[in-house]
Structure 1
């Protein structure tokens, strides 16, 4: 996660003017979402991820396809424990014009136990532990680059993002939300996020993250069939310090600014 820093607002990302009705609807959604998140003590779910970039192939009609596709697991325990792990993935091979299966131990994988973040850097064959400073403990998950999954407070979201509801009129079982970063610390990670919540329980269904400075984007979808709320997690096993794989180097470091 990027260390939250004091930052100047981005003048180019001023919120679009919302009508009083739109502002009231957004406020009602954020308050309801926060109340729902406050009731969730643990959550786990299978996710699917599609990455689109300049190397993405196109189908016969010219529609851009994903450069890579992944499947993985996400786990959360309030207020500050999380796990994100890609378990299988495939990547487009432009020479062979097909998707190649990637090694199972090459995908993104991190664990946060509330006091440290453990990140596997497979290309460098490293397991890195970043110790969080005291002021970040208890909120590193909700104030990371993607707080939308891990239940940030309504006030925090409004301070960090220009937000509006963008649900298409034909959609009745979902709520679509757009968020633009107000500060450089967030804009370094994404230029825009589109979030889809399930209307029935306000749990995340999908997130589309647009990368800074271009058309590259990542799409995440959370499989509701695998969603487990307040059950099925082992807080010790799921969020403990990972074992260093054979051939990897363990590196310990302090978070920036700590």
Structure 2
């Protein structure tokens, strides 16, 4: 299972300078459809408007729902694959380089019992980035790990990381790193759907394709679907607009400071992208 913290760390160090020198990265062969001039103009207009909207967001918090689909997923009566696990949690962001991701509750399919079972609370994915370090709770090992970011990534680690779609990267950066197109279904007027395929191996190692849904009213993310490399496995995140708080409700010290080490856990400090 690929975590958001893993996606973030996996690309931080190889991505130093990628926005300025993409030719230095190993390209991925793609068979992407050629956009017409009208389609390219619409994409450019959307990305520029999205960048302008992101530039006005200083803080954001939201409840998310996650569904994970993989080879162990059950199927319904019609043969459609259902989620292997379902989770609920919170995501927080403060421009330009602070973030929090925490799973609060989850359940997972038990193939032997043929039912979903709740997972213990306090054991889900949980990480905090304060701009200079990423703190990750590794519950199975009972560890709190700090990974220090290189100086050149501080101040932009999240938006320049390997998954910038939620955290407001620049339009030029997105176009350099991904082959993108608008794929909004016919008849949908309150959303814009985007597809992005990685141009470079550093991103392709983490996902083969991303589909993002933006709300047309405010160009804030509504959902994101991440396809894993080499198969049909995917993670789906939906962000609940009823809980979305933009530029209010966050405490920068409380929400993004170094977490306290839980009782019985070991604090471990790492230099670089630890595994």
Q: Pick the TM interval, shorter chain.
A: over 0.9
Q: 2:222 aligns with which of 205, 209, 215?
A: 205
Q: Who is 2:57 aligned against?
A: 40
Q: Secondary structure at the match of 1:242?
A: coil
Report the CA distance shift for 1:253/1:174 in structure 2 as closer, same or farther (over 3 A).
same
Query: Quick one: distance in 1 between partners of 2:219 and 2:70?
Result: 30
Q: Secondary structure at the match of 2:81?
A: coil
Query: Quick one: distance in 2 between partners of 1:256 and 1:220?
Result: 25
Q: 2:163 aligns with which of 139, 146, 154?
A: 146
Q: 2:115 aligns with which of 85, 98, 103?
A: 98
Matched residue count: 256
| Contact 1:14 1:182 survives alignment (8 Å) | no
Report the alpha carbon displacement of residue 215 of structure 1 after superposing the two structures with TM: 0.7
Q: Secondary structure at the match of 1:86?
A: strand
| Contact 1:4 1:143 survives alignment (8 Å) | no
Q: CA offsets per residue over residues 27-72 of structure 1, 9 Å max, x none?
A: 0000000000000000000000000000000111111100000000
Q: Secondary structure at the match of 2:35?
A: coil
Query: Quick one: distance in 1 between partners of 2:93 and 2:162?
Result: 15
The answer on 1:65 being equivalent to 2:82 is yes
Q: Secondary structure at the match of 2:47?
A: helix
Q: Secondary structure at the match of 2:224?
A: strand
Q: Who is 1:240 aligned against?
A: 257
Q: Who is 2:232 aligned against?
A: 215
Q: 1:9 aligns with which of 27, 31, 37?
A: 27
Q: Who is 1:230 aligned against?
A: 247
Q: CA offsets per residue over residues 83-114 of structure 1, 9 Å max, x none?
A: 00000000000011111100112211110000
The answer on 1:76 being equivalent to 2:76 is no
Alignment of 1:168-207 (within 5 A): 168-207=185-224
Q: TM-score, normalised on structure 2?
A: 0.91
Query: Quick one: distance in 2 between partners of 1:15 and 1:190?
Result: 16
Q: TM-score, normalised on structure 1?
A: 0.97
Where does structure 2 lack aligned partners over 5 or more consecutive residues?
A: 1-8, 15-23
Report the alpha carbon displacement of residue 145 of structure 1 after superposing the two structures with TM: 2.5
Query: Quick one: distance in 2 between partners of 1:16 and 1:46?
Result: 35
Q: CA RMSD in A?
A: 1.2
| Contact 1:109 1:120 survives alignment (8 Å) | yes
| Contact 2:213 2:224 survives alignment (8 Å) | yes
Report the alpha carbon displacement of residue 219 of structure 1 after superposing the two structures with TM: 0.2
| Contact 1:176 1:194 survives alignment (8 Å) | yes
Query: Quick one: distance in 1 between partners of 2:203 and 2:54?
Result: 22
Report the CA distance shift for 1:57/1:256 in structure 2 as closer, same or farther (over 3 A).
closer
